[in-house]
Amino acid sequence: MAKTLMKISVVYFMIGISFGLYMSFTHVFNLTSVHVHLNLVGWVSLALVGLFYHLYPNLEQSGLAKAHFWLHNIGLPIMMISIATAILGGPEIFFLFATLGGVMTVLGVLCFGFNVLTRLEKN
Please write the tens of the pLDDT for every residue from 30-71: 999 999 999 999 999 999 999 999 999 999 999 999 999 999
Q: What is the mean pLDDT of the chain?
A: 95
Angle at 77 between CA 97 and CA 83, to 5 degrees: 50
- Domain spans, the chain: 2-122
- Of the pLDDT bands very low, low, confident and very high (cuts 50, 70, 90), residue 122 is low
φ/ψ of 56, rounded to 5, equals -130, 80
